[in-house]
Amino acid sequence: MSVEQQINQLREELRQHNYNYYVLDAATISDYEFDMKLKDLQALEEKHPEFYDANSPTLRVGGEVTKNFNTVVHEQRMYSLDNSYSKEDLLDWETRIKKLVDGDVSYTCELKYDGASISLTYENGELIRAVTRGDGIQGDDVTTNVKTIKSVPLKLKGNYPPKFDIRGEIVLPYEGFAKMNQERIAAGEEPYANPRNTASGSLKLQDSSETAKRPLDCLLYNLAGDRLGISSQHESLEKAREWGFKVPKESRLVTSIDGVLEFINMWDEKRRDLPYETDGVVIKVNNLQQQEELGFTSKAPRWAMAYKFKAEQAVTKLNEITYQVGRTGAITPVANLEPVQLAGTTVKRASLHNADQIAKLDIREEDTVFVEKGGEIIPKIISVDFTKRNKNSVPTKYITSCPECDTELIRKEGEAQHYCPNVYGCPPQIIGRIQHYISRKALDIEGLGGETVALLVKEGLITNYADLYDLKKEQVIPLERMAEKSADNLIEGIAKSKEIPFERVLFGLGIRYVGETVAKKLAKHYKSIEAIIAATEEELVNVDEIGIKIAQSVREFFEGEDNRMLVNRLMDYGVQLQISADKLANQTDTLKGQTFVVSGVFEKVSRNELKKLIEDNGGKVSSSISSKTTYVVAGANMGPSKLEKANKLGITIISEDDFLNLIG
Ligand code: AMP
Ligand code: ZN
């Protein structure tokens, strides 16, 4: 078999496995086998860039960075939908339809997925563009990010038309959303409010490898295009499924509004078992001929109607407002409710967000309140039943001092949250910070768990993460439930954490807004903790993707005497506070201040190697040519539009060899 055949076969196989796993939800090989095959393909592709394919399964991991998303005009407008809320609304709609078309009308009922709408363009079976809805007339080109979503087919199967658009919704299933939020909370960041906004935000991330990490899914529901040889909505769903798209199976073809209502009633209940959010049902006239006769109003198709589910509400009593202190000192007020059934679960607590929210709704203890579970996972109080309010009730006084350590709370300008400033004396902050330090994505200390940390703090054995390295076996053995063996493991685990790379230590320090990704960026840019400590706010802001909020927070952290002392102690213990020597050996500053665009296919190195070489030597890689571009590195088959743009802006085009000479 020739190399080309080998590559094509691997791509085909991986595509099928992707499809089995992400679209059909029925994997036929193990993750491990899949990874091995992917690695094989990657290796072959690196060696043979002449067989580059923009839709290869290896590109699912992302990596391309988009600075500005181009605006694209939709070939066919993306309409919104008219809404209905009752049987009467639907019967009215039917009456209007029957006046405009002849013959019987049947309907497809589909679920209304709550995410970000997307339009995908396919030509000759390949995905060539993905555009957000925008204002319906034009949207943003988010192709690089959408390509990382595994259920979006990059190549189609079967008998597809040569060119068409398909519309659908990018959603973030509950489970993945919850996981993302756990990670954010661990990084001291505010959790995302709901899956829908997070899904649409994910499409606009500049670094597509970040999008690739998010467990997004793409559900399709409409075809648009000329001469598709299809006569009904129901048929188009079936066809799209055949071509490899993920088209949910829940849709039904019915012949009357009664059938529609049955579907609605069933799903109003059952939708709670779905892995992603739905906020209603979309009813479409099935026959495409009839759809055409009905046409559009200025805003929406006359042949479709959304039916919105009522958000689930319950009435209950608010027993008490309590206050939680997070690892960063942020105070969160919590409503403790009389337990009540809501959307299939028992609700005992609801978030009250912050002082403003409590004041705005005038929420008080002992009130009767309406609780709602909408897009948000944590239920919220939407209003108070004032008619049931106790005569002698008084407005809630927000706490002014910390419930855990009694320190007076502060509230920074422009921030909604109150904070306990007693960073080193407030138990939940002390414990939270150490728990964060030892967590999986930070120092990942084996043999030490969150509860043991709390115990060690309570027993006065540690008050910060540096103290961990002073712990002696004899000190921990007397602790509750601590056997000789576990004590050994604990001490050993702590010692082993000295090998954890700098970027993860930096994350572990618990600097506000310095999550995993930011820590990586900072570590890569500054290479050592000393360099970060020495950096001014302006310098920090100049680092790619570091904004003012992060820069200020970093400065503030290292200006703290105690923090610097902790860092010095970590250094003395031998914790990694700089990039390791062998990593450093491959890095230079030769290309500092220069921005490169890479285009075409290369002989000596792969595109990814080339990009890595640029970054390792201090240069920046950008995906589009602008006046800021220093060089375009061009291989064979450089895109004609890029060539034209480079020439127009007078940007120097260099070859692969020129580039290699540049870095010596
Ligand atoms: P709205 O934003 O409330 O006007 O509702 C219209 C949006 O519903 C469309 O833009 C789609 O993004 C979304 N939608 C979700 N599920 C469907 C579906 N099955 N058919 C059509 N549109 C849908
Ligand atoms: Zn406190």
> Residues 42-53: pLDDT tens digits?
999 999 989 999
Q: Which of 117, 233, 283 to mutate to test the pocket of ligand 1 (most atoms within 8 A of CB)?
A: 117
Amino acid 376: pLDDT: 57
- Give the position, in ligand 1's atom list, of the atom nearest the Cα of 116: 12
Q: Which helix (H) or strand (E) holds 217?
A: strand 217-224
Pocket of ligand 1 (CB under 6 A): 80-81, 110, 112-113, 117, 133, 169, 221-222, 282, 306
d(CA 514, CA 558): 13
pLDDT for res 494: 96
Which CA distances in Å does 136 have to 80, 105, 300, 550, 611?
A: 8, 28, 10, 35, 36
Cα 434 to middle of ligand 2, angstroms:
16
d(CA 435, CA 205): 29
How, if at all, do strands 620-622 and 595-599 pair?
parallel
Give the pLDDT confidence score for residue 375 in this predicted structure. Answer: 53
Q: Closest ligand 1 atom to the C-alpha of 306?
A: 5
Give me the half-sphere count of Cα atoms (radius 13 Å) on the Cβ side of residue 618: 13
DSSP state of 419: B
| Contact of 76 with 164, CB cutoff 8 Å | no
Specify the residue with its C-alpha closest to ligand 1, atom 3. 81
Which ligand 1 atom is at minimum distance from the Cα of 308? 3
Nearest CA to ligand 1 atom 23: 112
Say how many Å lie between the CA of residue 241 and the centre of ligand 1.
19
Which tokens sit at 546? 């570091």
Closest CA to 537 of 559, 517, 504, 508: 559
Beta strand pairing call for 312-325 and 331-342: antiparallel
Query: From the centroid of its chain, how far is CA 57?
Result: 21
Count other Cβ atoms within 10 Å, centred on residue 324: 13
Cα–Cα distance, 640 to 3 (Å, whole number): 28
Measured in angstroms, how far is the CA atom of residue 68 from the centroid of ligand 1?
26
Sole residue written with tokens 């728990």 = 435
| pLDDT tens-digit readout, 356-376 | 999 999 999 999 999 987 655
Best CA proximity match to 633, nearest among 224, 607, 504: 607
Distance CA 644, CA 599 (A): 13
Angle at 534 between CA 529 and CA 539, to 5 degrees: 105
- Phi and psi for 107 in degrees, rounded to 5? -130, 145
Buried b / exposed e across 131-156, counting CB within 10 Å, b at 16+? bbbbeeeebbbbbbbbbbbbbbbbbb
Q: Which ligand is nearest to the CA of 220?
A: 1
Nearest CA to ligand 1 atom 4: 80
* Ligand (nearest to CA of 247): 1
Distance 135 CA to ligand 1 centre (A): 13
Q: For residue 304, which atom of ligand 1 is closest to its CA?
A: 21
Rounded to the nearest angstrom, the distance between the alpha carbon of 280 and the centre of ligand 1 is 9
For a mutational test of ligand 1's pocket, the pick from 80, 166, 241, i.e. the residue with the most ligand atoms closer than 8 A to its C-beta, is 80
Q: Which ligand is nearest to the CA of 167?
A: 1
Give the tokens for residue 245: 């798209």
Which residues of the chain, if any, have pLDDT below 50?
none
* Spacing, Cα 342 to ligand 1 middle (Å): 26
**pLDDT number for residue 637:** 75
H or E element that contains 20? none
Residue 444 in tokens: 């990942």
Q: What is the pLDDT of residue 344?
A: 66
Looking at ligand 1, which residue's alpha carbon is closest to its atom 9? 80
Report CA(80)–ligand 1 centroid distance (Å).
7
Taking the C-alpha atoms of residue 447 and residue 471, their distance in angstroms, rounded to an integer, is 14
Written in H, E and C, the secondary structure of 511-537 is CCCCCHHHHHHHHHHHCEHHHHHHCCH
User: Whose CA is closest to atom 14 on ligand 1?
Assistant: 112
Q: Which two tokens stand for residue 511?
A: 């600097």
What atom in ligand 1 is closest to the CA of residue 114?
15
**For a pocket test of ligand 1, which of 113, 118, 252 has the largest count of ligand atoms closer than 8 A to its C-beta?**
113
Kindly give the number of the ligand 1 atom that is closest to the alpha carbon of 78: 10
How far apart, in Å, are the Cα atoms of 625 and each of 141, 209, 581, 599, 628?
16, 20, 34, 10, 8
Closest CA to ligand 1's atom 17: 112
Helix (H, G, I), strand (E, B) or coil at 116: strand
Residue type, 517: T
Question: Which among 79, 118, 196, 282 is the best mutation to test ligand 1's pocket, defined by most ligand atoms within 8 Å of the CB?
Answer: 282
Q: Determine which residue's CA is closest to atom 10 belonging to ligand 1.
A: 80
Closest ligand 1 atom to 169 CA: 12
d(CA 183, CA 50): 40
- Measure the CA–CA gap between 602 and 607, rounded to whole angstroms: 7
Beta strands in 74-206 (DSSP E): 83-84, 107-113, 116-123, 126-132, 138-140, 163-171
Which mutation among 83, 114, 118, 169 tests ligand 1's pocket best, with the greatest number of atoms within 8 A of CB? Answer: 169
- Nearest ligand, CA 218: 1
Phi, psi of 418, rounded to the nearest 5 degrees: -90, 155
DSSP helix/strand/coil, 160: coil
The pTM is what? 0.60
User: What distances in angstroms separate CA 346 from CA 267, 576, 639, one per listed residue?
Assistant: 20, 46, 58
308 is a catalytic site residue? no
Quote the ligand 1 centre to 82 CA distance (angstroms). Answer: 10
Determine which one of 112, 147, 239, 380 is catalytic: 112
The Å distance, Cα 185 to ligand 2 centre, comes to 18
